[in-house]
Amino acid sequence: MAIRWSVFVCMILLSWLLLIFITSATAATTSPYVRRPARGPVSLGRLFGPTAVEDVQQVHASLAGPNHMRVSWISVNTGIPSIVEYGTASGSYDSVATGDSTSYTFVFYTSGQIHNVVIGPLKDNTVYYYRCGGVSLEFRLRTPPPLGPHVPVKFTVVGDLGQTGWTTSTLDHIQQSEYDVLLFAGDLSYADYYEPLWDSFGRMVEPLASRRPWMVTEGNHEIEEIPFFIAPFRSYNARWLMPYAESGSTSNLFYSFEVGSAHVLMLGSYTSYVLGSPQYEWLQDDLAKVDRSKTPWLIAVLHAPWYSSNWAHRGDGAAMMAAMEPLLKEARVDIVIAGHVHAYERTTRVFLGMIDPCGIHHITIGDGGNREGLARSFRSPQPAWSVFREASFGHGNLNILNATHAFWCWHRNEDEEPVLADHIYFTTLSAPSNECSCASETLGKTSSTIEIGDAATLSEM
Protein backbone atom coordinates (compact mmCIF):
# COMPACT_ATOMS: atom_id res chain seq x y z
CA MET A 1 0.00 0.00 0.00
CA ALA A 2 2.85 2.37 0.87
CA ILE A 3 4.51 1.58 -2.48
CA ARG A 4 1.28 2.35 -4.39
CA TRP A 5 0.94 5.61 -2.50
CA SER A 6 4.53 6.59 -3.35
CA VAL A 7 3.91 5.83 -7.04
CA PHE A 8 0.75 7.93 -6.93
CA VAL A 9 2.60 10.88 -5.38
CA CYS A 10 5.39 10.61 -7.95
CA MET A 11 2.85 10.64 -10.79
CA ILE A 12 1.23 13.78 -9.37
CA LEU A 13 4.60 15.50 -9.06
CA LEU A 14 5.59 14.53 -12.60
CA SER A 15 2.28 15.81 -13.96
CA TRP A 16 2.71 19.06 -12.09
CA LEU A 17 6.26 19.53 -13.42
CA LEU A 18 5.07 18.75 -16.96
CA LEU A 19 2.31 21.33 -16.63
CA ILE A 20 4.82 23.96 -15.49
CA PHE A 21 7.07 23.13 -18.43
CA ILE A 22 4.25 23.40 -20.97
CA THR A 23 2.98 26.64 -19.47
CA SER A 24 6.41 28.24 -19.40
CA ALA A 25 7.05 27.16 -22.98
CA THR A 26 3.91 28.85 -24.28
CA ALA A 27 3.68 31.89 -22.01
CA ALA A 28 5.21 35.33 -22.39
CA THR A 29 8.95 35.69 -22.16
CA THR A 30 11.12 37.07 -19.41
CA SER A 31 14.60 36.96 -20.86
CA PRO A 32 17.10 34.99 -18.77
CA TYR A 33 19.95 37.16 -20.03
CA VAL A 34 22.07 38.65 -17.22
CA ARG A 35 23.63 42.03 -17.92
CA ARG A 36 27.28 42.56 -17.11
CA PRO A 37 28.16 45.09 -14.38
CA ALA A 38 27.32 48.71 -15.14
CA ARG A 39 29.86 50.89 -16.86
CA GLY A 40 30.88 54.11 -15.17
CA PRO A 41 30.47 57.69 -16.39
CA VAL A 42 32.21 58.70 -19.58
CA SER A 43 35.73 59.96 -18.96
CA LEU A 44 36.26 63.66 -18.49
CA GLY A 45 38.36 63.61 -21.64
CA ARG A 46 35.31 62.72 -23.69
CA LEU A 47 32.98 65.08 -21.86
CA PHE A 48 35.21 68.12 -21.62
CA GLY A 49 37.56 67.57 -24.54
CA PRO A 50 38.86 70.01 -27.16
CA THR A 51 35.38 70.65 -28.57
CA ALA A 52 34.57 72.59 -25.39
CA VAL A 53 36.44 75.61 -26.72
CA GLU A 54 35.05 75.57 -30.27
CA ASP A 55 32.99 78.56 -31.38
CA VAL A 56 30.22 76.25 -32.67
CA GLN A 57 29.33 73.13 -30.70
CA GLN A 58 26.46 70.87 -29.66
CA VAL A 59 24.93 70.98 -33.14
CA HIS A 60 21.68 69.09 -33.55
CA ALA A 61 18.81 69.06 -36.03
CA SER A 62 15.07 68.59 -35.66
CA LEU A 63 12.02 68.69 -37.92
CA ALA A 64 10.32 72.08 -38.19
CA GLY A 65 7.25 71.61 -40.35
CA PRO A 66 6.90 70.24 -43.89
CA ASN A 67 10.21 70.33 -45.78
CA HIS A 68 11.92 72.43 -43.11
CA MET A 69 14.42 71.58 -40.39
CA ARG A 70 15.72 73.46 -37.40
CA VAL A 71 19.48 73.55 -36.80
CA SER A 72 20.45 74.35 -33.21
CA TRP A 73 23.86 74.91 -31.70
CA ILE A 74 25.71 76.73 -28.91
CA SER A 75 28.55 79.22 -29.26
CA VAL A 76 30.84 80.47 -26.52
CA ASN A 77 31.60 83.58 -28.55
CA THR A 78 28.59 85.92 -28.39
CA GLY A 79 29.61 87.49 -31.69
CA ILE A 80 28.73 84.39 -33.73
CA PRO A 81 25.72 85.21 -35.97
CA SER A 82 22.64 82.99 -36.09
CA ILE A 83 23.01 81.92 -39.70
CA VAL A 84 23.20 78.59 -41.49
CA GLU A 85 24.68 78.29 -44.95
CA TYR A 86 23.64 75.13 -46.78
CA GLY A 87 23.53 73.35 -50.11
CA THR A 88 23.51 69.91 -51.74
CA ALA A 89 27.21 69.93 -52.66
CA SER A 90 30.06 69.82 -50.18
CA GLY A 91 31.69 73.22 -49.76
CA SER A 92 29.09 74.94 -51.95
CA TYR A 93 26.38 76.73 -49.99
CA ASP A 94 23.81 78.31 -52.29
CA SER A 95 21.28 79.07 -49.54
CA VAL A 96 21.48 81.03 -46.30
CA ALA A 97 18.93 81.12 -43.47
CA THR A 98 18.89 83.37 -40.42
CA GLY A 99 17.44 82.73 -37.00
CA ASP A 100 17.82 83.95 -33.45
CA SER A 101 19.71 83.16 -30.28
CA THR A 102 19.14 83.16 -26.56
CA SER A 103 20.87 82.16 -23.34
CA TYR A 104 19.85 81.35 -19.80
CA THR A 105 21.21 81.39 -16.29
CA PHE A 106 20.89 78.66 -13.68
CA VAL A 107 22.05 79.76 -10.24
CA PHE A 108 25.78 80.48 -10.87
CA TYR A 109 25.82 78.95 -14.35
CA THR A 110 25.37 80.93 -17.58
CA SER A 111 24.90 79.10 -20.85
CA GLY A 112 26.54 79.98 -24.13
CA GLN A 113 24.50 81.55 -26.90
CA ILE A 114 21.90 79.03 -28.03
CA HIS A 115 21.16 79.48 -31.73
CA ASN A 116 18.10 78.22 -33.61
CA VAL A 117 17.84 78.54 -37.39
CA VAL A 118 15.12 77.00 -39.58
CA ILE A 119 16.34 76.01 -43.04
CA GLY A 120 14.23 75.19 -46.07
CA PRO A 121 12.28 74.44 -48.10
CA LEU A 122 14.34 71.27 -48.49
CA LYS A 123 14.10 68.38 -50.89
CA ASP A 124 12.96 65.06 -49.46
CA ASN A 125 15.44 62.29 -48.80
CA THR A 126 18.38 64.47 -49.80
CA VAL A 127 21.82 65.03 -48.29
CA TYR A 128 22.60 68.66 -47.43
CA TYR A 129 25.90 70.11 -46.36
CA TYR A 130 25.81 73.05 -43.97
CA ARG A 131 27.86 75.40 -41.86
CA CYS A 132 26.75 77.21 -38.70
CA GLY A 133 27.52 80.80 -37.79
CA GLY A 134 29.74 81.27 -40.82
CA VAL A 135 32.68 79.77 -38.94
CA SER A 136 32.01 76.12 -38.16
CA LEU A 137 33.32 73.03 -39.84
CA GLU A 138 31.02 71.49 -42.43
CA PHE A 139 28.21 69.24 -41.25
CA ARG A 140 26.20 66.74 -43.26
CA LEU A 141 22.45 66.23 -42.88
CA ARG A 142 20.01 63.91 -44.64
CA THR A 143 16.36 64.93 -44.85
CA PRO A 144 13.64 62.34 -44.23
CA PRO A 145 11.43 60.75 -46.90
CA PRO A 146 8.35 62.57 -48.23
CA LEU A 147 4.87 62.35 -46.76
CA GLY A 148 2.69 59.62 -48.21
CA PRO A 149 0.60 56.63 -47.08
CA HIS A 150 2.88 54.07 -48.73
CA VAL A 151 6.21 55.75 -47.96
CA PRO A 152 8.60 53.67 -45.81
CA VAL A 153 10.28 55.46 -42.92
CA LYS A 154 12.79 54.20 -40.36
CA PHE A 155 12.82 55.41 -36.76
CA THR A 156 15.51 54.71 -34.21
CA VAL A 157 14.08 54.77 -30.68
CA VAL A 158 15.92 55.46 -27.43
CA GLY A 159 15.23 56.63 -23.91
CA ASP A 160 17.06 57.53 -20.69
CA LEU A 161 20.39 57.93 -22.42
CA GLY A 162 22.60 59.74 -19.90
CA GLN A 163 26.40 59.82 -20.20
CA THR A 164 28.05 56.52 -19.30
CA GLY A 165 30.09 53.85 -21.02
CA TRP A 166 26.84 52.11 -21.92
CA THR A 167 25.61 55.38 -23.44
CA THR A 168 28.55 55.49 -25.81
CA SER A 169 27.91 51.85 -26.68
CA THR A 170 24.29 52.66 -27.50
CA LEU A 171 25.30 55.66 -29.60
CA ASP A 172 27.88 53.59 -31.47
CA HIS A 173 25.22 51.02 -32.28
CA ILE A 174 22.73 53.67 -33.35
CA GLN A 175 25.35 55.11 -35.68
CA GLN A 176 25.29 51.79 -37.55
CA SER A 177 21.56 52.19 -38.27
CA GLU A 178 20.39 53.83 -41.46
CA TYR A 179 17.51 55.59 -39.77
CA ASP A 180 15.54 58.64 -40.92
CA VAL A 181 14.42 60.13 -37.60
CA LEU A 182 15.35 59.44 -33.97
CA LEU A 183 12.59 59.34 -31.35
CA PHE A 184 13.77 60.11 -27.80
CA ALA A 185 11.43 59.15 -24.95
CA GLY A 186 12.88 61.59 -22.40
CA ASP A 187 15.68 61.78 -19.80
CA LEU A 188 18.43 63.14 -22.00
CA SER A 189 21.56 64.37 -20.22
CA TYR A 190 20.95 63.47 -16.56
CA ALA A 191 22.39 66.88 -15.72
CA ASP A 192 20.19 67.03 -12.61
CA TYR A 193 21.00 70.66 -11.76
CA TYR A 194 24.68 70.42 -12.74
CA GLU A 195 24.38 72.41 -15.95
CA PRO A 196 27.80 71.68 -17.52
CA LEU A 197 26.49 68.16 -18.09
CA TRP A 198 24.02 69.61 -20.59
CA ASP A 199 27.00 70.91 -22.54
CA SER A 200 28.88 67.63 -22.40
CA PHE A 201 25.74 65.77 -23.49
CA GLY A 202 25.30 68.10 -26.46
CA ARG A 203 28.86 67.48 -27.54
CA MET A 204 28.49 63.75 -27.05
CA VAL A 205 25.45 63.37 -29.31
CA GLU A 206 26.53 65.95 -31.91
CA PRO A 207 28.08 63.40 -34.32
CA LEU A 208 24.67 61.74 -34.65
CA ALA A 209 22.22 64.55 -33.89
CA SER A 210 23.79 66.84 -36.48
CA ARG A 211 23.21 64.27 -39.25
CA ARG A 212 19.59 63.21 -38.66
CA PRO A 213 16.62 64.91 -36.99
CA TRP A 214 16.32 64.07 -33.28
CA MET A 215 12.79 64.46 -31.93
CA VAL A 216 12.67 64.49 -28.14
CA THR A 217 10.18 64.72 -25.32
CA GLU A 218 10.94 65.52 -21.70
CA GLY A 219 11.49 63.17 -18.78
CA ASN A 220 11.62 63.72 -15.04
CA HIS A 221 15.36 64.46 -15.18
CA GLU A 222 14.63 67.49 -17.35
CA ILE A 223 12.45 69.19 -14.71
CA GLU A 224 15.28 70.79 -12.66
CA GLU A 225 12.92 73.08 -10.77
CA ILE A 226 13.92 75.29 -7.85
CA PRO A 227 10.65 76.60 -6.38
CA PHE A 228 10.30 80.39 -6.45
CA PHE A 229 13.60 80.75 -8.32
CA ILE A 230 13.82 78.55 -11.41
CA ALA A 231 10.83 77.30 -13.38
CA PRO A 232 10.71 73.67 -14.52
CA PHE A 233 12.41 72.71 -17.79
CA ARG A 234 14.40 75.94 -18.12
CA SER A 235 17.47 74.19 -19.53
CA TYR A 236 15.56 71.66 -21.61
CA ASN A 237 13.31 74.23 -23.26
CA ALA A 238 16.21 76.53 -24.04
CA ARG A 239 18.43 73.83 -25.55
CA TRP A 240 16.03 71.44 -27.27
CA LEU A 241 13.46 73.52 -29.13
CA MET A 242 10.94 71.26 -30.87
CA PRO A 243 8.25 72.14 -33.49
CA TYR A 244 5.48 72.78 -30.99
CA ALA A 245 4.31 76.03 -32.61
CA GLU A 246 4.28 74.33 -36.02
CA SER A 247 1.86 71.72 -34.65
CA GLY A 248 -0.47 74.18 -32.93
CA SER A 249 0.80 73.49 -29.41
CA THR A 250 1.36 76.18 -26.82
CA SER A 251 4.24 74.35 -25.12
CA ASN A 252 7.57 72.80 -26.07
CA LEU A 253 6.59 69.92 -23.77
CA PHE A 254 4.04 68.44 -26.18
CA TYR A 255 3.76 68.56 -29.95
CA SER A 256 3.36 66.41 -33.06
CA PHE A 257 4.92 65.99 -36.47
CA GLU A 258 4.47 63.95 -39.61
CA VAL A 259 7.06 62.07 -41.61
CA GLY A 260 6.63 59.42 -44.28
CA SER A 261 3.45 57.50 -43.51
CA ALA A 262 3.39 58.33 -39.79
CA HIS A 263 1.82 60.93 -37.53
CA VAL A 264 3.82 61.07 -34.30
CA LEU A 265 2.58 62.50 -30.99
CA MET A 266 5.25 63.65 -28.52
CA LEU A 267 3.43 63.88 -25.19
CA GLY A 268 4.45 65.35 -21.84
CA SER A 269 4.33 63.16 -18.75
CA TYR A 270 5.29 66.08 -16.47
CA THR A 271 2.95 68.82 -17.58
CA SER A 272 -0.79 68.81 -16.96
CA TYR A 273 -2.66 66.21 -19.01
CA VAL A 274 -6.08 66.08 -17.33
CA LEU A 275 -9.34 66.88 -19.05
CA GLY A 276 -9.43 70.62 -19.82
CA SER A 277 -5.66 71.10 -19.60
CA PRO A 278 -3.82 72.75 -22.51
CA GLN A 279 -2.16 69.43 -23.40
CA TYR A 280 -5.42 67.48 -23.35
CA GLU A 281 -7.24 70.04 -25.47
CA TRP A 282 -4.34 70.27 -27.91
CA LEU A 283 -4.26 66.46 -28.19
CA GLN A 284 -7.96 66.34 -28.96
CA ASP A 285 -7.56 68.93 -31.71
CA ASP A 286 -4.43 67.28 -33.11
CA LEU A 287 -6.03 63.83 -33.27
CA ALA A 288 -9.07 65.31 -35.01
CA LYS A 289 -6.80 66.57 -37.79
CA VAL A 290 -5.09 63.22 -38.41
CA ASP A 291 -5.96 61.78 -41.83
CA ARG A 292 -5.20 58.05 -41.73
CA SER A 293 -5.55 57.86 -45.52
CA LYS A 294 -2.41 60.06 -45.67
CA THR A 295 -0.60 58.98 -42.50
CA PRO A 296 -1.95 55.50 -41.69
CA TRP A 297 0.44 55.04 -38.76
CA LEU A 298 -0.28 56.81 -35.48
CA ILE A 299 2.47 56.65 -32.83
CA ALA A 300 2.77 58.30 -29.41
CA VAL A 301 5.96 58.91 -27.42
CA LEU A 302 6.01 59.85 -23.72
CA HIS A 303 8.22 59.23 -20.71
CA ALA A 304 6.46 57.46 -17.83
CA PRO A 305 5.08 54.13 -19.14
CA TRP A 306 1.44 53.21 -18.79
CA TYR A 307 2.05 49.47 -18.86
CA SER A 308 5.09 48.07 -17.09
CA SER A 309 5.55 44.84 -15.15
CA ASN A 310 8.76 46.12 -13.59
CA TRP A 311 8.77 47.04 -9.91
CA ALA A 312 10.62 50.30 -10.65
CA HIS A 313 8.53 53.49 -10.87
CA ARG A 314 5.31 51.61 -10.18
CA GLY A 315 2.30 53.77 -10.99
CA ASP A 316 4.23 56.81 -12.21
CA GLY A 317 2.23 56.85 -15.44
CA ALA A 318 -1.11 55.80 -13.95
CA ALA A 319 -2.72 59.24 -13.72
CA MET A 320 -1.79 60.17 -17.29
CA MET A 321 -3.01 56.79 -18.47
CA ALA A 322 -6.37 57.31 -16.75
CA ALA A 323 -6.75 60.70 -18.42
CA MET A 324 -5.53 59.94 -21.92
CA GLU A 325 -5.73 56.21 -22.65
CA PRO A 326 -9.40 56.38 -23.76
CA LEU A 327 -8.56 59.29 -26.05
CA LEU A 328 -5.71 57.41 -27.72
CA LYS A 329 -7.77 54.21 -27.94
CA GLU A 330 -10.62 56.05 -29.64
CA ALA A 331 -8.15 57.52 -32.15
CA ARG A 332 -6.81 54.00 -32.81
CA VAL A 333 -3.23 54.77 -31.90
CA ASP A 334 -0.98 51.90 -32.96
CA ILE A 335 2.02 52.14 -30.62
CA VAL A 336 2.92 54.02 -27.43
CA ILE A 337 6.66 54.31 -26.70
CA ALA A 338 7.89 55.18 -23.21
CA GLY A 339 11.10 55.38 -21.17
CA HIS A 340 11.62 56.01 -17.43
CA VAL A 341 11.89 52.34 -16.37
CA HIS A 342 15.47 51.27 -17.05
CA ALA A 343 14.64 48.05 -18.83
CA TYR A 344 12.97 46.88 -22.03
CA GLU A 345 9.42 45.57 -22.29
CA ARG A 346 6.89 45.05 -25.07
CA THR A 347 3.18 44.35 -24.68
CA THR A 348 0.51 42.94 -26.90
CA ARG A 349 -2.44 45.19 -27.74
CA VAL A 350 -3.92 46.24 -24.43
CA PHE A 351 -6.55 48.61 -23.05
CA LEU A 352 -7.71 49.23 -19.46
CA GLY A 353 -5.31 46.57 -18.25
CA MET A 354 -6.78 43.83 -20.43
CA ILE A 355 -5.67 42.27 -23.70
CA ASP A 356 -7.74 43.97 -26.38
CA PRO A 357 -7.40 43.34 -30.15
CA CYS A 358 -8.35 46.99 -30.69
CA GLY A 359 -5.94 48.25 -28.03
CA ILE A 360 -2.44 49.71 -28.24
CA HIS A 361 1.00 48.12 -28.32
CA HIS A 362 3.19 49.58 -25.56
CA ILE A 363 6.98 49.59 -25.65
CA THR A 364 9.16 50.63 -22.71
CA ILE A 365 12.71 51.46 -23.74
CA GLY A 366 14.26 53.43 -20.87
CA ASP A 367 17.49 51.51 -21.33
CA GLY A 368 19.79 53.87 -23.23
CA GLY A 369 22.66 53.74 -20.74
CA ASN A 370 21.93 56.07 -17.82
CA ARG A 371 24.07 56.25 -14.67
CA GLU A 372 21.34 54.93 -12.37
CA GLY A 373 21.69 51.44 -13.77
CA LEU A 374 19.13 48.85 -14.79
CA ALA A 375 15.77 48.02 -13.24
CA ARG A 376 16.20 44.28 -12.80
CA SER A 377 13.14 43.35 -10.73
CA PHE A 378 10.04 42.28 -12.66
CA ARG A 379 6.72 41.18 -11.23
CA SER A 380 5.99 37.49 -11.11
CA PRO A 381 4.01 35.97 -12.66
CA GLN A 382 4.40 37.96 -15.85
CA PRO A 383 1.11 39.72 -16.75
CA ALA A 384 -0.76 38.28 -19.73
CA TRP A 385 -0.36 41.53 -21.67
CA SER A 386 3.44 41.52 -21.30
CA VAL A 387 5.04 39.70 -24.23
CA PHE A 388 8.79 40.20 -23.75
CA ARG A 389 10.88 41.89 -21.05
CA GLU A 390 14.56 42.14 -20.23
CA ALA A 391 16.76 44.34 -18.05
CA SER A 392 19.50 45.33 -20.51
CA PHE A 393 20.77 48.50 -22.13
CA GLY A 394 19.97 48.95 -25.80
CA HIS A 395 17.90 50.74 -28.44
CA GLY A 396 15.07 50.01 -30.84
CA ASN A 397 14.27 50.41 -34.52
CA LEU A 398 10.78 50.88 -35.93
CA ASN A 399 10.77 50.38 -39.69
CA ILE A 400 7.45 51.32 -41.24
CA LEU A 401 7.35 49.25 -44.40
CA ASN A 402 4.15 50.45 -46.05
CA ALA A 403 0.60 51.58 -45.27
CA THR A 404 -0.22 48.43 -43.32
CA HIS A 405 2.88 46.77 -41.87
CA ALA A 406 5.88 47.75 -39.75
CA PHE A 407 8.82 45.85 -38.32
CA TRP A 408 9.97 46.49 -34.75
CA CYS A 409 13.25 45.23 -33.32
CA TRP A 410 15.07 45.81 -30.06
CA HIS A 411 18.87 45.54 -29.93
CA ARG A 412 20.59 44.65 -26.70
CA ASN A 413 24.07 46.09 -26.09
CA GLU A 414 26.26 43.01 -26.07
CA ASP A 415 29.91 43.94 -25.68
CA GLU A 416 30.66 45.95 -28.82
CA GLU A 417 27.82 44.53 -30.92
CA PRO A 418 24.09 45.26 -31.00
CA VAL A 419 22.33 41.91 -30.59
CA LEU A 420 18.77 41.56 -31.84
CA ALA A 421 16.87 40.20 -28.84
CA ASP A 422 13.22 40.85 -29.67
CA HIS A 423 11.26 41.63 -32.83
CA ILE A 424 7.76 41.59 -34.24
CA TYR A 425 5.72 42.69 -37.25
CA PHE A 426 2.92 45.14 -36.51
CA THR A 427 -0.24 45.79 -38.52
CA THR A 428 -1.75 49.26 -38.21
CA LEU A 429 -5.30 49.56 -36.92
CA SER A 430 -6.04 51.81 -39.90
CA ALA A 431 -5.45 48.98 -42.37
CA PRO A 432 -8.66 48.24 -44.34
CA SER A 433 -8.24 44.52 -43.72
CA ASN A 434 -7.74 44.96 -39.99
CA GLU A 435 -10.66 43.78 -37.91
CA CYS A 436 -9.03 44.42 -34.55
CA SER A 437 -7.82 40.85 -34.40
CA CYS A 438 -4.63 39.78 -32.68
CA ALA A 439 -4.30 37.36 -35.57
CA SER A 440 -3.52 40.34 -37.79
CA GLU A 441 -0.07 40.46 -36.19
CA THR A 442 2.68 38.31 -37.65
CA LEU A 443 5.02 37.46 -34.83
CA GLY A 444 8.69 37.24 -35.59
CA LYS A 445 11.07 35.06 -33.68
CA THR A 446 11.42 36.12 -30.07
CA SER A 447 14.45 34.76 -28.31
CA SER A 448 17.29 35.82 -26.10
CA THR A 449 19.70 35.81 -29.05
CA ILE A 450 19.20 36.09 -32.84
CA GLU A 451 22.01 36.40 -35.30
CA ILE A 452 22.69 39.89 -36.65
CA GLY A 453 22.64 38.55 -40.21
CA ASP A 454 19.05 37.44 -39.66
CA ALA A 455 18.21 40.85 -38.21
CA ALA A 456 19.64 42.66 -41.20
CA THR A 457 17.57 40.55 -43.57
CA LEU A 458 14.39 41.17 -41.62
CA SER A 459 14.92 44.89 -41.21
CA GLU A 460 15.30 45.32 -44.98
CA MET A 461 11.83 43.90 -45.65
CATH number of domain containing 423: 3.60.21.10
The C-alpha atoms of residue 191 and residue 171 are separated, in whole angstroms, by 18
For residue 286, tell me if it sits in a domain.
Answer: yes
What pLDDT score does 32 carry? Answer: 56
- CATH assignment at residue 139: 2.60.40.380
- Do 87 and 131 reside in the same domain of the chain? yes
Task: Out of 91, 125, 143, pick the residue that ends a domain.
Answer: 143
E-strand ranges in 103-149 read: 105-106, 109-110, 113-119, 127-132, 139-142
For residue 21, tell me if it sits in a domain.
Answer: no
The predicted model scores a pTM of 0.86
- Do 269 and 355 reside in the same domain of the chain? yes
For residue 32, tell me if it sits in a domain.
Answer: no
For residue 261, tell me if it sits in a domain.
Answer: yes
For residue 18, tell me if it sits in a domain.
Answer: no
- Do 176 and 229 reside in the same domain of the chain? yes
Range of the domain at 344: 147-459
Close Cβ partners of 296 (under 8 Å, ≥ 6 residues apart): 149, 261, 403, 404, 428, 430, 431
What pLDDT score does 433 carry? Answer: 72
- Do 356 and 299 reside in the same domain of the chain? yes
The C-alpha atoms of residue 225 and residue 330 are separated, in whole angstroms, by 35
- Do 199 and 112 reside in the same domain of the chain? no
- Do 222 and 131 reside in the same domain of the chain? no
Please give the tally of structural domains in the chain: 2
For residue 139, tell me if it sits in a domain.
Answer: yes
The C-alpha atoms of residue 160 and residue 35 are separated, in whole angstroms, by 17
- Do 305 and 178 reside in the same domain of the chain? yes
Residue of 263, 303, 313, 340 with catalytic role: 313
Cis before residue 326, ω within 30 degrees of 0? no
- Do 108 and 222 reside in the same domain of the chain? no
* Helix, strand, coil percentages for the chain (3-state, nearest 5): 25, 30, 45
What pLDDT score does 42 carry? Answer: 53
Task: Out of 143, 167, 190, pick the residue that ends a domain.
Answer: 143
For residue 7, tell me if it sits in a domain.
Answer: no
- Do 315 and 445 reside in the same domain of the chain? yes
What pLDDT score does 137 carry? Answer: 92
Contact present, 12 and 20 (Cβ < 8 Å): no
- Do 167 and 132 reside in the same domain of the chain? no
Determine whether 221 is an active site residue.
no
**pLDDT in single tens digits along all 461 residues of the chain:** 444 444 333 444 444 333 333 333 334 676 555 545 555 555 443 443 333 447 899 999 999 999 999 999 999 888 899 999 999 999 999 999 999 999 999 999 999 999 999 999 999 999 999 999 998 899 999 999 999 999 999 999 999 999 999 999 999 999 998 999 999 999 999 999 999 999 999 999 999 999 999 999 999 999 999 999 999 999 999 999 999 999 999 999 999 999 999 999 999 999 999 999 999 999 999 999 999 999 999 999 999 999 999 999 999 999 999 999 999 999 999 999 999 999 999 999 999 999 999 999 999 999 999 999 999 999 999 999 999 999 999 999 999 999 999 999 999 987 566 788 899 999 999 988 765 744 444 433 333 332 323 333 333 33
- Do 92 and 158 reside in the same domain of the chain? no
- Do 252 and 391 reside in the same domain of the chain? yes
Task: Out of 143, 163, 197, pick the residue that ends a domain.
Answer: 143
Neighbour-count burial for 375-388, b at 16+ CB within 10 Å, e otherwise = beebeeebbebbbb
What pLDDT score does 5 carry? Answer: 42
Close Cβ partners of 197 (under 8 Å, ≥ 6 residues apart): 47, 163, 189, 190, 191
For residue 31, tell me if it sits in a domain.
Answer: no
